[in-house]
């Protein structure tokens, strides 16, 4: 077979995995995979949801949300439109290829450049109006896709507002204190991104990686994953006596059809002054299923700084992190990737932060 540039390799018809997509086993098996452990499932409409969510965000940085009020029919349409998009022939998808310097479009997500091999996935990033991005893909036939994605973004924004309130409440903040927190006050102007991911069935799943290990950089991410096809894994770091000596394992996140996955991102970790763990996660691939996922990233608008909430800063240690905007933080991540939180430690806090980051 003539060799094509790796970005033109069609994952959907592959019968073997090329060198460009073959990962060393040290990536897949860097930590053992937990046999029986489960991310907490929380009905977020329960009156006592805050304390459960608080505990999950501290221990896991992730939970499965039920009772979220996002209509099941809409989740179904989002998934079918996502599959419809990825089922287009490769040359058609390339019409929406993202340009250097812009985040929207079809292409490799930024984390890809920090790994020596290519991931067994395709991604579509939608920031702003989806019409601009997909109108070239389906001339005259993109309106349903766009309507579904716009409707989904409205539902996600509403859900994000509720989650933000409950998560801040779980940190002990009163209503009037929340109003003073920039990212909460500015939620209407939030910066939102939809990331559509596609993981075709893989002929050699033990040597391929769907999405390499990372934390998300925003406040938090709401992920919808196709029912029945597992793949998402979260790193569970159990600290015995908080000294980081406990076991670290990958835990498979069960694909519950009615649940949305919520994971804490780096900006909420900063806001909580290190109390909430920014969950490290990845996606593995399987031999049979074609899995898709849709991630909604949310953060404050570019001019709003994120900093540790004053009420959560203890007077002796002070704030663990310095104020940072999301665009500034994305710039730091583009340079140092998984060291970005270390790079924004506040100069007055030379010691390692007291909470999750020290649990290595
Ligand atoms: C607003 C965002 C959030 C981004 C960057 C930009 C657009 C694409 C997002 C992702 C999607 C895939 C994982 C990630 C880690 C990646 O490489 O690209 C995400 C990243 C982040 O959470 O930082
Ligand atoms: O597909 C998944 O389960 C994970 C996707 C993800 O982590 C992301 O888009 O940031
Ligand atoms: Fe992610």
| Residue 96, ligand 2, Cβ within 6 A | no
Q: Find where tokens 């406990």 sit.
A: 246
Cβ pair 41, 64 in contact under 8 A: yes
How far is ligand 1, taken at its centre, from the CA of residue 317, in Å?
31
- Strand 41-43 relative to strand 62-66, pairing: parallel
Query: What confidence tens digit (pLDDT) does each residue in 255-284 have?
Result: 999 999 999 999 999 999 999 999 999 999
| Residue 195, ligand 1, Cβ within 6 A | yes
How far is ligand 2, taken at its centre, from the CA of residue 346, in Å?
29
How far is ligand 2, taken at its centre, from the CA of residue 265, in Å?
12
Query: What confidence tens digit (pLDDT) does each residue in 44-86 have?
Result: 999 999 999 999 999 999 999 999 999 999 999 999 999 999 9
Probe target for ligand 2 pocket from 211, 216, 222, with the most ligand atoms within 8 Å of CB: 211
CA–CA separation, 97 and 172 (whole Å):
45
Query: What confidence tens digit (pLDDT) does each residue in 275-334 have?
Result: 999 999 999 999 999 999 999 999 999 999 999 999 999 988 899 999 999 999 999 999
Say which DSSP state 195 is in: E
Residue 122's pLDDT is 96
- Domains defined along the chain, listed by start: 27-344 (2.60.120.330)
| Residue 193, ligand 1, Cβ within 6 A | yes
How far is ligand 2, taken at its centre, from the CA of residue 315, in Å?
37
Q: Has this prediction a pTM greater than 0.80?
A: yes
Starting from the edge strand earliest in sequence, which strands make up the sheet with 248-252, in order? Answer: 211-214, 281-283, 232-237, 248-252
Q: Find where tokens 């940072």 sit.
A: 324
Q: Is the pLDDT at 148 greater than 80, yes or no?
A: yes
Closest C-alpha residue for ligand 2 atom 3? 232
CA–CA separation, 286 and 200 (whole Å):
8
Ligand lying nearest the CA atom of residue 233: 2
Q: Any residues with CB less than 8 A from the CB of 116 and at least 6 apart, and which? A: none
**Residue 13 CA to chain centroid, in angstroms?**
28
| Residue 281, ligand 2, Cβ within 6 A | yes
Q: At what angle do helices 143-170 and 49-59 cross, to 10 degrees?
A: 90
Active site residues: 291
Q: Specify the ligand 2 atom closest to the Cα of 293.
A: 1
Closest C-alpha residue for ligand 2 atom 7? 282
Q: Specify the ligand 2 atom closest to the Cα of 292.
A: 1
Banded model confidence at residue 195, pLDDT cuts 50, 70, 90: very high
Q: Which two tokens stand for residue 221?
A: 């991410």
For 128, other C-beta atoms within 10 Å of its C-beta total 13
CA–CA separation, 264 and 277 (whole Å):
7
Length of the chain: 360
Burial class (CB in 10 A: 0-12, 13-18, 19+), 112: middle
How far is ligand 3, taken at its centre, from the CA of residue 330, in Å?
14
């Amino acid at each position: 077979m003539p060799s094509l540039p790796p970005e033109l390799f069609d994952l959907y018809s592959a019968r073997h995995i090329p060198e460009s997509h073959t990962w060393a086993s040290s990536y897949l098996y860097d930590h053992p995979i937990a046999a029986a452990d489960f991310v907490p499932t929380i009905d977020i409409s329960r009156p006592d949801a805050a304390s459960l969510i608080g505990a999950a965000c501290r221990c896991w940085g992730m939970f499965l949300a039920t009772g979220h009020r996002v209509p099941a029919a809409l989740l179904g349409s989002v998934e079918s439109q996502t599959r419809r998009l990825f089922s287009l022939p490769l040359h058609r998808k390339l019409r929406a290829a993202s340009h250097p310097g812009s985040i929207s479009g079809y292409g490799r997500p930024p984390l890809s450049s920090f790994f020596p091999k290519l991931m067994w996935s395709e991604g579509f990033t939608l920031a702003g109006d989806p019409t601009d991005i997909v109108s070239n893909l389906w001339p005259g036939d993109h309106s349903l896709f766009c309507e579904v994605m716009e409707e989904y973004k409205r539902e996600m924004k509403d859900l994000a507002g509720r989650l933000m309130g409950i998560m801040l409440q779980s940190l002990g903040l009163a209503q009037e204190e929340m109003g003073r927190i920039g990212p909460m006050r500015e939620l209407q102007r939030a910066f939102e991104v939809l990331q559509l991911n596609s993981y075709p069935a893989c002929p050699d799943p033990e040597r391929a990686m769907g999405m390499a290990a990372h934390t998300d950089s925003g406040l938090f991410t709401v992920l919808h994953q196709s029912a029945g096809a597992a793949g998402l894994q979260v790193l569970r770091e159990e600290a015995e006596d908080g000294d980081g000596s406990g076991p670290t394992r990958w835990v498979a996140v069960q694909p519950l059809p009615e649940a949305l996955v919520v994971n804490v991102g780096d900006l909420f970790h900063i806001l909580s002054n290190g109390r909430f763990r920014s969950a490290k996660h990845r996606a593995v691939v399987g031999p049979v299923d074609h899995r898709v996922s849709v991630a909604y990233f949310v953060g404050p608008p570019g001019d709003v700084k994120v900093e540790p909430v004053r009420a959560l800063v203890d007077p002796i240690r002070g704030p663990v992190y310095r104020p940072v905007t999301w665009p500034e933080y994305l710039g730091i991540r583009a340079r140092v990737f998984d060291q970005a939180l270390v790079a924004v430690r506040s100069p007055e806090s030379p010691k390692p932060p007291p909470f999750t980051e020290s649990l290595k």
